[in-house]
Amino acid sequence: MLSRTSNLPIGVFDSGVGGLTVLRALRELLPDENFLYLGDTARVPYGAKSPESVIKYALQAGGALVQEGIKMLVVACNTASAVSLDALASEYSPLPVVGVVKPGAEAACATTINGKIAVIATEGTVKGGVYQRTICSMHPDAEIIAHPCPLFVGLAEEGWVDGELVEAIVARYLKPLFAAFGDVKPDTLVLGCTHFPVLREAIANVAGSSIKLVDSAETTAKTVKNILNEAQICNVGDVKGKISFLATDSAQRFAAVGGPFLGEKIDTSDVRVIDL
Amino acid sequence: MLSRTSNLPIGVFDSGVGGLTVLRALRELLPDENFLYLGDTARVPYGAKSPESVIKYALQAGGALVQEGIKMLVVACNTASAVSLDALASEYSPLPVVGVVKPGAEAACATTINGKIAVIATEGTVKGGVYQRTICSMHPDAEIIAHPCPLFVGLAEEGWVDGELVEAIVARYLKPLFAAFGDVKPDTLVLGCTHFPVLREAIANVAGSSIKLVDSAETTAKTVKNILNEAQICNVGDVKGKISFLATDSAQRFAAVGGPFLGEKIDTSDVRVIDL
């Protein structure tokens, strides 16, 4: 069989820097691939905005990445995945478009034993009910309760990620959520926003050892790898893949705030500012 | 002398709902005036965005209000006032354009006795240094230290405005700020973001009774009244003035979140959604 390859980058889109946690997992699993990451930092956050606005922004971002030349689009933002995936797939067909919600839901279903799954996300993601519907379609007996934690985004961007005060804020959101399950507590907690893995330790401390935390970064990376293999569009270059960054606001701030999310230093000179 | 009058509304612009605290003060002082409030809720918050983006957004918002027909423009957002006032005044001349920074600085200078003034604001406002420069021009001997408190915006919008946890968050920002003044503490704390007055009680509890809190809402309203009188463009109608609202994202969410900032219920039907 003749194998096709492509050294075009994989486009990764997020409302800001949160999606860099997904890019980090993609890099680990797919070190040979090139990536073009777009953070819509001029309009971040999407979490409390209406589906109409988020769809409009996602289509503009997708269009910019397609114009740059990409072989696949990863929507590394839960809010945008929740509402704009169909619009993106239809607009840029036949480009493969992958979101983070389905992989996150798969991870939750693979993790839970008692079928009780708690989901924390932004207001937009929770209200849209996409995690509830997606998990339910895979695991019809699951009991799923979702709760918005909008302040976690601010905490993550402020770099307040551990300590007593952060755990107190986390507890204020999680205690009522866990209590809503009644006598049998959930055994799985989905981090349904790409900002939240930065707070993983504080969330784990509050949730306790009986609750497993899952996020969509790793399962999304596996999904992307499968699609690359099936479509035979892997990059088989013998050098390590490169990342380029696009942002809609200050390159300097993107590099400074983004580093901890990506887990490696970002040079301001690697960030190009574009207008959407 | 022949007095001119105008029943055109006063345009009030903010990045979101925070500026409704300014509108509230305007309403109290100028009950006969009509107001047209525009909240750029699709792109809120401005606080961590670059001056270039904020200027662009402010000019678009100003343009929309001018097109609707206004007799004066009030920029009820500290971040936008800090960076875009000159651009707005020049673009829409001879329309009077009033920001909230100068009135806030005037209030601080009128309040301080020991000349030590602390300022809390968004990252953008603090970094731009506009409060420091403006206060310094009025009170050259003042010692001014400004510190960003980005999480306060999230707290205010989340409705977490009092209690032990909120005061602990407030303290984490304020203690190092007050300590930076050394032995003689500030006697004045400027709330340099229109979201912050919603947290006034928690901030006052942490600051203690020796520190007076000032915000720009009341002094901005006085400035607006003076300009109306000088330009002889007051509304002398005998009915109470009306408020109309424009938002760039969901009317429903604007009405729900905005009510507590304005101090009165907002009907969704009074909010018109526009695209900037």
Weakest-pLDDT range from A192-206, A233-247, B32-46, B68-82: A233-247
Contacts of A53 (CB under 8 A, 6+ apart): A46, B42, B248, B249, B250
Distance CA A83, CA A76 (A): 13
What's the pLDDT at A2? 41
Q: What is the pTM of this model?
A: 0.91
Write out the two tokens for B121.
């604001």
Percent of chain B scoring above 70 in pLDDT:
98
What is the separation, in whole angstroms, between the first and last Cα of chain B?
41
Question: From A151, which residue of chain B is nearest by alpha-carbon distance?
Answer: B154
Do A154 and A133 fall within a single domain?
yes
Distance CA A245, CA A225 (A): 21
Q: Is the pLDDT of residue B238 over 70?
A: no
Q: Where residue A265 sits, what CATH number does that domain have? A: 3.40.50.1860
Over residues B138-165, the mean pLDDT reads 95
In one-letter notation, the amino acid at residue B81 is S
Do B118 and B67 fall within a single domain?
no
Over residues B108-115, the mean pLDDT reads 97
Residue A134 domain-assigned (yes or no): yes
- Per DSSP, B141 falls in state T
Domain edge (last residue) among B215, B237, B255: B215
Residue B2 domain-assigned (yes or no): no
In one-letter notation, the amino acid at residue B60 is Q
Strand order in the sheet with A97-99: A97-99, A72-75, A10-14, A35-39, A243-247, A271-273
Do A87 and A120 fall within a single domain?
no
What's the pLDDT at A238? 66
Q: With a cut of 50, list the residues of chain A below it in pLDDT.
A: 1-3
What's the pLDDT at B1? 38
Cβ–Cβ contact A227 with B under 8 A: no
Average pLDDT value for chain B: 94
* Number of domains chain A contains: 2
Q: Is the pLDDT of residue B2 over 50?
A: no
Per-residue b/e over A262-273, b at no fewer than 16 CB within 10 Å?
Answer: beeebeeeebeb
Do A25 and A126 fall within a single domain?
no
Residue A29 domain-assigned (yes or no): yes
Around Cβ B236, how many Cβ atoms within 10 Å?
9
Residue B4 domain-assigned (yes or no): no
Q: Are residues B177 and B188 in contact, defined by beta-carbon separation less than 8 angstroms?
A: no
Residue A137 domain-assigned (yes or no): yes
Beta strands A97-99 and A72-75 are parallel
Domain edge (last residue) among A187, A215, A243: A215
Do B141 and B196 fall within a single domain?
yes
Do B259 and B228 fall within a single domain?
yes
Do A209 and A119 fall within a single domain?
yes
What's the pLDDT at B5? 74
B16: distance to nearest CA of chain A, Å?
Answer: 11
Distance CA A183, CA A200 (A): 25
The per-residue pLDDT for range B202-227, each reduced to its tens digit, is 999 999 999 999 999 999 999 999 99
What's the pLDDT at A93? 95
Residue B5 domain-assigned (yes or no): no
Q: Which position among A77, A109, A149, A234 bears the catalytic label?
A: A77
Residue A2 domain-assigned (yes or no): no
Q: Is the pLDDT of residue B237 over 80?
A: no
Range of the domain at B117: 102-215
What's the pLDDT at B113? 98
Contacts of A257 (CB under 8 A, 6+ apart): A17, A157
B168 and A172 within 8 Å at the Cβ level: the answer is no
Q: Is the pLDDT of residue B158 over 50?
A: yes
B250 and A168 within 8 Å at the Cβ level: the answer is no
Distance CA B142, CA B136 (A): 6
Do A76 and A114 fall within a single domain?
no
Do B142 and B180 fall within a single domain?
yes
Residue A1 domain-assigned (yes or no): no
